[in-house]
Amino acid sequence: MSIREQLPATRRWVVKIGSALLTNNGQGLDVAAIAGWVEQLSHLQKQGIELVLVSSGAVAAGMTRLGWTERPDAIHELQAAAAVGQTGLVQAYEQEFQKYGINTAQVLLDHDDLSNRQRYLNARSTLRALTGLGVIPIVNENDTVVTDEIRFGDNDTLGALVANLVEAEVLVILTDQDGMYTADPRSNPDASLIGEAEASDTSLDARAGDGGKLGRGGMITKVRAARLAARSGAHTVIVGGRIDNVVTRLQQGEALGTLLTADQQPQAARKRWLAGHLQVKGRLVLDDGAVRVLTLQGKSLLPVGVRAVEGDFHRGDMVSCVDAQGVEVARGLVNYSVQESRRIIGRPSEDIESRLGYVDELELIHRDNLVVL
């Protein structure tokens, strides 16, 4: 079965909508277009698909509100425009999603949030909790504190990082062209649409140019984003946001836009990433029961199954899980610091709150963040 045909069975999507598309020829937000995408996204969510929306457009919306016709060059002015426009952007989505009885949430992130382990876990828990509640998170770059995105006009990378974060199976990048062409169609009218390629195919780079006036990252940032998304096993579709019912049709398996495929399954990709990328900061000594459920049943590690902790670690650090003989059986990202862990080990998860005064998670290491060796 082709990957296109597998799309209807996928359950977690990140959809990124670019500035070039969202703004009506630079005349502020295209509210009618937003209404169209929201209708499709609502339909997807009603089908049981967990959705995270990554939307640009804050700068463009802010420029209209401030009465600016020219995009300023000064970064602080762009940041000010983004701050003004972000409220309008979220308001526009909220108003439309409310028509379908769907709540939305504003989530502003930056790249540091996602490379810092502790913030990564926090962001992940929040997004997971929101999607679990049926809320659609609307993510944008936190333009007040970072400037890379507005400087380079690239929210594509953020879309990919969010796909990594929530382990999405599909990243859809909606843009103003029907997909990726063999050359920039603005300057090459004979260019043809690329239907499918592997995200890792380096020959794509020479074909991807930079962007237009409003969203300036262009196609090259989308190709790089697809590679990043592929690291956690997500396939990327770069496709025209103005194609009639584009999102719904993609979900039905129709071959629209450009599919850039990942070469590994999400689960395997994540485990490889976990196994290879992080330094081990401490050790948890497990009892025999915990070793059994981890290694044979693929379950999460609960505090009750841990007899001792060693090392100096914080929430989000990688720790090694060893059996009573000191043999390493697994590794994972721990939800509690060494001090917190010492206070909750050997106890049922219901006791976490009385011991610490709060509960981050019921597990010491969630199974999604655990690699059995």
Ligand X SMILES: Nc1ncnc2c1ncn2[C@@H]1O[C@H](COP(=O)(O)OP(=O)(O)O)[C@@H](O)[C@H]1O
Ligand Y SMILES: N[C@@H](CCC(=O)OP(=O)(O)O)C(=O)O
- Give residues in contact with ligand X (CB under 6 A): 18-21, 56, 153, 175-177, 180-181, 183-186, 207-209, 211-212, 215-219
Which CB sits closer to ligand Y, 149 or 363?
149
3-state secondary structure of 314: coil
**What span, in angstroms and rounded, lies between the C-alpha atoms of 147 and 145?**
7
Query: Does the annotation list 25 as a binding residue?
Result: no
Go through 242-279 and write b for each residue having 16 or more CB atoms within 10 A of its CB, e for each that does not: bbeebbebbbeeeebbbbbbbeeebeebbbeebeeebe
State yes or no: residue 212 binds ligand Y (CB under 6 A).
no
Identify residues 118-147 at the interface with ligand Y (CB under 6 A): 140-141, 143
Identify residues 26-65 at the interface with ligand Y (CB under 6 A): 56-60
- In contact, 181 and 192? CB cutoff 8 Å: yes
Query: Does the annotation list 143 as a binding residue?
Result: yes
Distances (CA, A) of 49 to 15, 180, 337: 12, 26, 34
**What span, in angstroms and rounded, lies between the C-alpha atoms of 18 and 241?**
9
Query: Does the annotation list 176 as a binding residue?
Result: yes
Which CB sits closer to ligand X, 218 or 305?
218
Query: Per CB under 6 A, which region of 38-46, 63-71, 151-159, 307-315 contacts ligand Y?
Result: 151-159
Which CB sits closer to ligand Y, 42 or 64?
64
**Pair of tokens at residue 370:** 């655990």
Q: How far is the CB of 148 from ligand X (least distance, A)?
A: 14
For helices 156-166 and 218-231, the axis angle rounded to 10 degrees is 10
Tell me which residue has tokens 């590994």: 264
Radius of gyration of the chain (CA): 22
State yes or no: residue 184 binds ligand Y (CB under 6 A).
no
Choose the one of ligand Y, ligand X, none that binds residue 143, judging by a C-beta under 5 to 8 angstroms depending on kind.
Answer: ligand Y
Q: How far is the CB of 328 from ligand X (least distance, A)?
A: 44
Q: How far is the CB of 169 from ligand X (least distance, A)?
A: 22
State yes or no: residue 236 binds ligand Y (CB under 6 A).
no
Which CB sits closer to ligand Y, 25 or 297?
25
Choose the one of ligand X, ligand Y, none that binds residue 141, judging by a C-beta under 5 to 8 angstroms depending on kind.
Answer: ligand Y
Query: Does the annotation list 131 as a binding residue?
Result: no
State yes or no: residue 19 binds ligand Y (CB under 6 A).
yes
Go through 308-318 and write b for each residue having 16 or more CB atoms within 10 A of its CB, e for each that does not: ebeeebebbbb
Tell me which residue has tokens 């001090």: 339
**Binding-site ranges for ligand Y (CB under 6 A):** 18-19, 56-60, 82, 140-141, 143, 149-150, 153-156, 215, 217
